[in-house]
Structure 1
Amino acid sequence: MFEQNQIWDELSLDEEEFTPKQKKIITAAVEIFAEKGYAATSTSEIAKKAGVAEGTIFRHYRTKKELLLSIVAPMMAKMIAPFVIKDINRVLDKNYDSLEDFLRAMIKNREVFLEKNIQLFRILVQELPFHQELQGQFKEHIAAKIYTRMEKVVRHYQEKGDIIDMPPESVFRLFLSTIFGHLMARFFILPPDQWDDEKEMERTIQFLVKGLSPNE
């Protein structure tokens, strides 16, 4: 269960811009959206958990979707984007001798990030495919900013002979889809007793390295 202060720390919003009732509404919405999903959550449930009248929600947010966007959009703009770019740059700015070392650092970096922000990330993952507004925010704040850096990394390992001659955007897509699939299994699909972090990470790395190697 979320503590209200934890929600506001993770959202990285200016608390002074919100009334006490808004804070309760957002805290309750994050908790229920993460647990049940946006579509299965009613505003009456949010109001009950927040301890406010349902009409209070609509005085602050015209629709349930506006409430969702008020949580997820700033989460990407103010929390995920700066920290993702900053954290990934820590990986991208280092010179790794091998593609394996780079991928290992990348996966570990994302695992640490998700462990700290798992509930908010769950909302993003659940709702991103269904809301064009969120997709636009994601492309603006994350995908476009990361791609230019990743393209340089891909070309670096292609020049070293570690990656097959393939358009960098295709390599980037394969990196993302494979690593994202690994993280989804790790955090959302398989129970902890069926997951071995080190072994699964090495299997993921070998899958990418061997699949992208010019020698395979």
Structure 2
Amino acid sequence: MADEMEQWLSSLLRLIDEDEKMTERQIRIIQAAVDTFAEKGYASTSTAEIAQKAGVAEGTIFRHYKTKKDLLLSIVTPMMSKLVAPFVLRDFLKVLDTEYRHFEDFLRAAMRNRLEFVKKNAPIVKIMLHEIPFHPELRDKFKEELIPQVAERLRRIVTHFQARGEIVEMPPFAVVRMSVSAVLGYILTRCFLFPEYDWNDEEEIERVVRFIMHGLTPKSGAD
């Protein structure tokens, strides 16, 4: 996990440096901010803590960034536009573009893929989960970069299995919303709320899939 974080941070620093040549102090500030935001969250992190971790005076931060939020945006904006979409969608588009015999086969593949992704990249995902809901600029950028790549693929998958009679007739994105809620509910609980539990991922995946399919299977005429 530490190696993944280090690789991600190196990529992030390269992206930022493409637009503006950073000093050695700026690099230390960005590294310290990423580490501290991941550990404590944006709201609980002070610029004094970032300065101490970076080995600079607090005033140095404000010479480069007017506010703590400017510092956060300097980290996340290039990440959103150039790094997050390929990062978050790493290996997932293959799952979305694969043909499946049944909707539940797609659910299993998607859930395994995203669970492994979050387990490997938990510190980075933590920053996103902490900050995106509370910063409209970040939320808008997230939607702009990711939704176009995923939404139409998911709509096609759902309508395909609706046409085959495996899923009830309802708006495709309602199906997506309920399915995603169940899948993410397990992943977030597993990786962030109770990671210390002795989870059996394959058993839990089957439970989630059965839960989704039971709620989405059309009623027979005898019911």
Q: Determine if the TM-score, normalized by the shorter chain, exceeds 0.5.
A: yes
Contact 1:128–1:134 (CA under 8 A) maintained in structure 2:
yes
The number of residues matched between the two structures is 216
1:110 aligns with 2:114: yes
Q: Which residue of 2 aligns with 1:91?
A: 95
Alignment of 1:38-57 (within 5 A): 38-57=42-61
Contact 1:158–1:165 (CA under 8 A) maintained in structure 2:
yes
> Could you say what the CA RMSD is over the residues aligned between the two structures, in angstroms?
2.1
Q: TM-score, normalised by structure 2?
A: 0.88
Structure exhibiting the larger radius of gyration computed from Cα positions: 2
Q: Which residue of 2 aligns with 1:9?
A: 10
* Residue in structure 1 matching 2:198, options 189, 194, 206: 194
Contact 1:44–1:54 (CA under 8 A) maintained in structure 2:
yes
Runs of 5+ unmatched residues, structure 2 = none
* Residue identity (%): 49
CA distance in 2 between partners of 1:144 and 1:32 (Å): 31
* Residue in structure 2 matching 1:61, options 65, 82, 86: 65
Q: Which residue of 1 aligns with 2:123?
A: 119
CA deviations on 1:174-200 (whole Å, 9 max, x unpaired) are 122222211111110113333221111
CA distance in 2 between partners of 1:10 and 1:202 (Å): 36
CA distance in 2 between partners of 1:160 and 1:9 (Å): 46
* Residue in structure 2 matching 1:129, options 118, 128, 133: 133
Regions of 4+ moved over 4 Å: 1-5
CA distance in 1 between partners of 2:59 and 2:217 (Å): 59
CA distance in 2 between partners of 1:83 and 1:123 (Å): 14
Q: Which residue of 2 aligns with 1:28?
A: 32
1:18 aligns with 2:18: no
1:101 aligns with 2:101: no
Contact 2:97–2:153 (CA under 8 A) maintained in structure 1:
no
